[in-house]
Structure 1
Amino acid sequence: MKRTLSLLMLVASLSAAAENSAPAGTISTSLNAWASAQKANQATAVQQFTLANGMQLIVQPDRRAPTAVHMLWLRVGAMEEVDGTTGVAHALEHMMFKGSQQLAPGEFSRRVAALGGQENAFTNRDYTGYYQQIPSSRLRDVMALEADRFAHNQWPDAEFTKEIEVIKEERRMRTEDNPRGMLLEQLSAAIFMANPYGRPVVGWMNDLDAMTADDVRNFHRDWYVPANAAIVIAGDVDVAQVKTWAEATYGQIPARPSAVGKPREEPQQIGLRRIEVKQPAEQAFVAMAYRVPSIRNVENLTAQDKDALALLVLSAVLDGYDGARLERALVQGKDRVADSASSSASVMGRGPALFILSGVPAKGKTPAQLEKALQAQIARIAKEGVNAAELQRVKTQWLASQIYERDSVMGQAQGLGNYWVLGMPVNADDLLVKALMDISAADVQRVAGQYFGADQLTVGTLVPQPRPAGQAARPASPVDANTLQH
């Protein structure tokens, strides 16, 4: 699922936030706009409650239009799977649409549509989510529907038998028929030996072949408990009324213990890793993944948290806007080495963090030349630092994106849910923006010199192979293998 979160999307892939003609502007102007937006939102501040069964309720009033977004977030995803059952979290997301004690297969979606709403779901390494966007007058109805299927998901084996074939086809389309998808899947497996981040969210095909209906039911029984869940609602709502409705629907679900997963900490990497993936493709592709620190605490920043923030800024300097460093140095000009080049700092998640440099070699250039050119850009910043204009530009864009996000009730709900999954407070956006504004050019230069050694690097190279006769070329579009949509 493609999320619309501004700051969290920047965290996942800073290039996604680039504006075609975003001026550098001034931080002071944007800070004033940010302060004005915060002041305007004080009258409709987000509130968080804990229901008697341990489920969380987070409500963000927004009275500008008679609509509401209702989301159910589970702090349960592919991370909770064990060997032999990869893909079961995503399979359960599919089966949640196949019935309950009260509803027949497919009836949930038909009822949401009859209420004038739209709905979907998504699975990630870190979480699973379900949402409906409806007229705010029908909020109580979808809360009752969602609470019912959360507590009483029920379907015949025949529904699973059909749906698992749909999921296998999804895997084929997203991964097995997508050369870059295959590369990224293999790269993750090479990076993580113990941590479940090394497994595909959709699951390995042999695990899907062996999966049973009871595997899915058991995963629901073990993990879909109130203590692992949060209801997030944003839109034209009254907080007290929503709380009453939540207690009457979700609050009636009995509390029960959750399964407890093993830590499965990733051992320290002690040397360069390198893989090649051979697939029918027109162009080579290179992805270089460095292990870096994660952001864990936004209220009392540790040195590791500050380094992770500085890495975000570093990625934005490299690839945060049109004409940023990677594009200027590697893609533009007569001596260009790449057809495309990108940078991402995935430093917010329940598992380990990565900084990834990637690109497509230009005609006549080799993957090794592109790899060297990408590393040279990091080395240059480590030696020379970044200039004030670059730093100002990326910070200004962050501030602007946060202001724009507050125009979207879906964006507000998604942001609140993501931060809850990470154990962060409801004002994490504000805290992160403030912390990012404090990152200096010296901080960026320091992390560029600290976290890009070969011992923390895993390189994946897509080696193009001839296509079988008669096989049509597939588009080499970027894939988001870490979040799957129903």
Structure 2
Amino acid sequence: MKKLLLTILCLASALPAAAQEVAYEEYDLDNGLHVILHQDNTAPVVVTSVMYHVGGKDRTEGRTGFAHLFEHLLFEGTENIEKGKWFEIVSSRGGQNNANTSQDRTYYYEVFPSNNLELGLWMESERMLHPIINQEGLDTQIEVVKEERRLRYDNSPYGQILPVLGKNLFEKHPYKDPNIGYMEDLDAASLEDVIAYNEKYYVPNNAVLVVAGDIDMAETRRLVDKYFSEIPRGDQIVRDYPVEDPITSEVRSTAYDKNIQIPASIVAYRTPGFKQRDAYVLDMISSYLSDGKSSKLYKKLVDDQKQALQVGAFNIGQEDYGMYIVFSLPVGETPLDTLVTEIEEEIAAVRTDLITERDYQKLQNKFENRYVNSNSSIQGIAGSLATNYMLYGDTELINKEIEIYRSITREEIREVAQKYLKPNQRVVIDYLPEPPSEN
């Protein structure tokens, strides 16, 4: 009996978790605002969120960091929300809210008890229609962003890695500059610059509104129309970013960080944008190489050969181009070039050999679980719906994206590694402690 029970438990644990299909409705208002509604009445919670198709890459030379600045600036207040009261209003109604910005989009959201649905919609409509943007608020938020840059980038160990990657992987595309911007650009930002930026990007035809949770669909449609339908459409946004020349020979670079004592090795490749099928395959390759202690790079460099304190492969997805990086920290006096050589040996194996059937099944199980977990909460569902519509152009990915991963073959994994992860297409960065000054 015990053996039978153990067998049943083992079989059950091997089965992929079943994801319930996410039902939703979507439509457009006359002003171009795309609306997505998802009803789930299992808990008295509602998410109101707006994603704007504006991120760090949307800037002119000398004016970097505006999208991130606006992540802060649009909490300053509106014609009907007093300065500094946004968070107080939300928390006093039992809610929480936040925002985040990437190189490609900005996302604002509130999570409320569902009897505050109308409040959440009103606040987001106020942010879109009636923001107060004045010199006082601009000066305040520029200082907030500059301090954030000091804490997270300038004075944080390994905080310069993403800016260094951008600078080395891109020469023309705005991804070459950090999402948070440069200090001198923030200092140079004028009130006129900022007002023009708001009028261009924070408009209904450049946004998606997602309402998810304990809602009545008809009533929610009525409220959406009440608060958003009269917001004026903005001008059509034209994006024409420069195309990068291919990397055809290895690039070597050195960067210094005053905040570290242990150097790091970074091997990086420029890869396709996240909408491309190859980007999904690269996700699987990164998981195969470094996800968990049994992964190829971790087991080899950390456990067996004890050459690295840490090692990780990451496919950093972006809309126009991705960044595939392998980051490692050496043990003791292990040369960084040794880590690069050992890492290349494992990547070369992916380029030349099929991964084993057992490893392939492990990957499939991991991605099944990730897929289920990403949509296990109302907040997760709201974020997925917004992202899939705005950045991927396909809301239904929330239900079918797992099929893409399921359809990836071992042969395809090898082909994609051969296509993008070759030594002549890589950037190798020695990320070092800052040398002592010569005094």
TM range (shorter): over 0.9
Distance 1:343 1:83 in 2: 31
Work out whether residues 25 and 393 of structure 1, in 8 Å CA contact, stay in contact via their aligned partners in 2: no
SS of aligned partner of 2:306: coil
Counterpart of 1:212, as a letter, is S
Partner in structure 1 of residue 3 of structure 2 = none
- Give the structure 2 partner of residue 481 of structure 1: none
C-alpha change, 1:278 and 1:403, in structure 2 (3 Å) is closer
Matched, 1:322 2:322: no
> Equivalents in 2 of 1:359, 1:25: separation in Å?
36
| 1:341 equivalent in structure 2 | 311
CA distance in 2, matches of 1:25, 1:49: 43
2:268 alignment counterpart:
289
Query: What residue identity is the alignment partner of 2:15?
Result: T
For 1:29, the equivalent position in structure 2 comes to 15
**Partners in 2 of 1:86 and 1:72 — Cα distance?**
23
- Corresponding position: 1:415 with 2:393: no
Shift of 1:399: 1.2
Counterparts of 1:381 and 1:453 in 2: how far apart (Å)?
A: 11
What is the CA–CA distance in structure 1 between the aligned matches of 2:419 and 2:246, rounded to whole Å? 16
2:18 maps to a residue whose letter is W
What is the aligned partner in structure 1 of residue 200 from structure 2? Answer: 222
User: Hey, what's the Cα distance between the residues in 2 that align with 1:147 and 1:321?
Assistant: 43
Deviation at 1:199, TM superposition (A): 0.9
* The one of 439, 442, 454 aligned to 2:411: 442
Question: SS at 1:146's partner residue?
Answer: helix
1:120 aligned to 2:98? yes
Instruction: Describe the SS at the equivalent of 2:243.
Output: coil
1:400 to 2:386 alignment? no
Q: 2:175 aligns with which of 197, 203, 215?
A: 197
Deviation by residue 1:71-110 (Cα, 9 ceiling, x = unmatched): 1100111121111110111112211111212222112222
What whole-Å deviation, never above 9, does each CA across 1:201-248 have from its counterpart, x for those lacking one?
110111112122222221101111111011112111122221111111
Note if contact 1:337-1:373 (Cα within 8 Å) is conserved in structure 2.
no
Contact 1:183 1:461 in 2 (8 A): no
Q: Partner letter of residue 313 of structure 2? A: S
SS across alignment from 2:158:
helix
Give the conservation status (yes or no) of the 8 Å contact 2:282–2:315. Answer: yes
| Secondary structure in structure 2 of the residue aligned to 1:357 | strand
Q: 1:72 aligns with which of 44, 50, 54?
A: 50
CA apart distance, 1:372: 1.2
- Matched residues in 2 for 1:160 and 1:310: separation? 42
- Matched residue of 2:267: which SS? strand
Tell me the C-alpha RMSD between the 2 structures: 2.1
> Contact 1:26/1:396 (CA < 8 Å) preserved in 2?
no
1:238 matched to 2:207? The reply is: no
SS at structure 2 position matched to 1:398: helix
Matched, 1:206 2:193: no
CA contact (8 A) 1:46 1:426 kept: no
**1:70 Cα deviation (Å)?**
0.9
**Is the 2:265–2:327 Cα contact (8 Å) retained in structure 1?**
yes
The percent of aligned pairs where both chains have the same amino acid is 26
- 2:292–2:298: 8 Å Cα contact kept in structure 1? no
Give the match for residue 283 of structure 2.
Answer: 312
Taking structure 1 as the reference length, the TM-score comes to 0.84
Task: Output the CA distance in 1 between the equivalents of 2:417 and 2:70.
Answer: 41
Aligned CA distance change for structure 1 residues 262 and 394 (closer, same or farther; 3 Å)? same
Over residues 277-318 of structure 1, what are the superposed CA-to-partner deviations in whole Å (9 max), with x where a residue is unaligned? 12221101111111223343xxxxxxxx44332222211111
Q: Is residue 2:245 matched to residue 1:267?
A: yes
**1:379-432 superposed Cα distances (whole Å, 9 cap, x missing partner):** 122233211111111211211232233331111111111112213322213322
Task: Report Cα offsets for 1:245-267 as digits up to 9, x if no partner.
Answer: 11110112022314423332222
- Alpha-carbon distance between aligned partners in 2 of 1:63 and 1:178, rounded to the nearest angstrom: 43
Residues of 1 paired with 2:193 and 2:24: CA distance?
A: 38
CA distance in structure 2 between the partners assigned to 1:24 and 1:289 by the alignment: 39
Distance 1:54 1:330, change over 3 A: same
- Residue equivalent to 2:325: 356
**Greater RCO structure (CA 8 Å; 6+ sep):** 1
Assess if the C-alpha contact under 8 Å between 2:27 and 2:34 holds in 1.
yes
Q: What per-residue deviation string (whole Å, max 9, x for no partner) do you get for residues 13-49 of structure 1? A: xxxxxxxxxx99789831xx426x23xx5xxx11111
Number of the residue aligned with 1:475: none
Q: Is 1:462 the counterpart of 2:427 in the alignment?
A: no
1:370 maps to 339
Deviation at 1:149, TM superposition (A): 1.8
Structure 2 contact 170–244 (Cα < 8 Å) conserved: yes
Q: 2:381, 2:315 → 1: CA distance?
A: 22
The match for 1:166 is 144
- For the pair 1:88 / 2:50, whether they are aligned, the reply is no
Matched, 1:252 2:238: no
Paired position in structure 2 for 1:3: none
Separation (CA, whole Å) in 1 of partners of 2:340 and 2:170: 21
Structure 1 unpaired stretches of 5+: 1-22, 297-304, 469-486
Relative distance call for 1:413 and 1:421 in structure 2 (3 A) is: same
CA contact (8 A) 2:53 2:207 kept: yes
1:403 and 1:465, CA in 2 relative to 1: closer, same or farther beyond 3 A?
Answer: same
Whole-angstrom CA distance in 2 between matches of 1:49 and 1:164: 36
Greater CA drift, 268-277 or 362-371: 268-277
> Distance in 1 between the 2:291 and 2:254 partners?
28
Structure 2 residue matching 1:232: 3-state secondary structure = strand
Pair 370,92 (structure 1): closer, same or farther in 2 beyond 3 Å: same
